[in-house]
Amino acid sequence: VDQQLAERLSALYERVGAVVQAASPRCEMSGRCCDFPVSEHRLYASDLETEYAVAAAGGKVPPTTSGQCPWYVDGLCQNRKGRPLGCRVYFCDPAWEEGMPLVYERFHAELRVLHDEHALTYSYRLFVDAVVETPRGTPFGTPSGTEASC
Ligand code: SF4
């Protein structure tokens, strides 16, 4: 069941990627989506997403005391495969301002359904806090491959 859950979440993320790619918002490589203390961007994710992210990183969460996402290193995301929905839809492009919340809400609703169908308690909190608190050795296997780009 856990593997099935991971596959369903992965498929959901792939569909998010297809929708975002079709809209092709511009990434300015500003780091605003990951450098939370500087941007004051507040990234939330469900615990399911956080557990998936930790598993995707092979259970490795770099230490962070800065308040930045632990996987934000030298201006790049080191956990592209595991990043949650909020990261996948966030772009600084002003032309994406209207589309972003619509896409987020659409797939966030799907995430809620995924929780319901797997009888999971829904918990939604600040990603950077949840990552630090998530126990290692998560229920998911480690998705294969790594990507490292913003
Ligand atoms: S998971 Fe990656 S994209 Fe998301 S906040 Fe962290 S470094 Fe940025």
Question: Would the pLDDT of 111 be above 90?
Answer: yes
User: What pLDDT was estimated at residue 32?
Assistant: 85
pLDDT at 2: 86
Ligand 1 touching residue 45 (CB < 6 A): no
pLDDT of residue 148: 46
Q: Ligand 1 test: best mutation among 28, 33, 64, most atoms within 8 Å of CB?
A: 33
| Ligand 1 in reach of 71 Cβ (< 6 A) | yes
Atom 2 of ligand 1, residue of closest alpha carbon: 77
Identify the residue whose C-alpha is closest to ligand 1 atom 1.
83
Which ligand 1 atom lies nearest to the CA of residue 150?
3
Through-space distance between the first and last CA atoms of the chain, rounded to whole angstroms: 31
**What's the pLDDT at 39?**
87
pTM, two decimal places: 0.89
Closest C-alpha among 18, 141, 17, 27 to residue 83:
17
Listed in sequence order, the residues at least 6 apart from 141 whose beta carbon sits closer than 8 Å to its beta carbon are 2, 3, 6, 55
